[in-house]
């Protein structure tokens, strides 16, 4: 490889790296002073091959709780779904997002 080709390849790689979108792993922590209402009743659909049912939950949207309906999630072998939940921590309520657990 000539010096010119090597220089151009290095320049191209540097530019591509600089322009690539950055990946950010940010968690949103939600603590509120208002307890969530009782869960709403949802009829769970019959089993669906390759999917697990994630039940509905109360989400906090700015100034109040909003019900998020249950949904099907693609199954992950070796994992089970732990649904969203609210945990009381002192006088506050903390939202723990649903997640896959091995």
User: What pLDDT was estimated at residue 13?
Assistant: 47
Q: Of 99, 54, 49, nearest to 79 (Cα)? A: 99
User: What pLDDT was estimated at residue 30?
Assistant: 72
User: What pLDDT was estimated at residue 25?
Assistant: 53
Whole-prediction pTM value? 0.68
User: What pLDDT was estimated at residue 29?
Assistant: 72
Residues of the chain with pLDDT under 70: 1-28
**What is the SS3 assignment for 7?**
helix
Q: How far apart are alpha carbons 11 and 92 in whole angstroms? A: 53
User: What pLDDT was estimated at residue 21?
Assistant: 53
């Amino acid at each position: 490889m000539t010096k010119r080709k090597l220089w151009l390849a290095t320049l191209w790689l540097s530019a591509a790296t600089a322009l690539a979108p950055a990946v950010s792993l940010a968690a949103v922590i939600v603590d509120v002073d208002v307890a969530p209402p009782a869960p709403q009743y949802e009829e769970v659909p019959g089993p669906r091959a390759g999917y697990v049912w994630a039940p509905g939950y109360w989400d906090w949207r700015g100034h109040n709780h909003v019900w998020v309906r249950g949904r099907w999630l693609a199954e992950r072998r070796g994992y089970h779904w732990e649904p969203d939940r609210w945990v009381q921590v002192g006088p506050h309520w903390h939202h723990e997002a649903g997640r896959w657990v091995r």
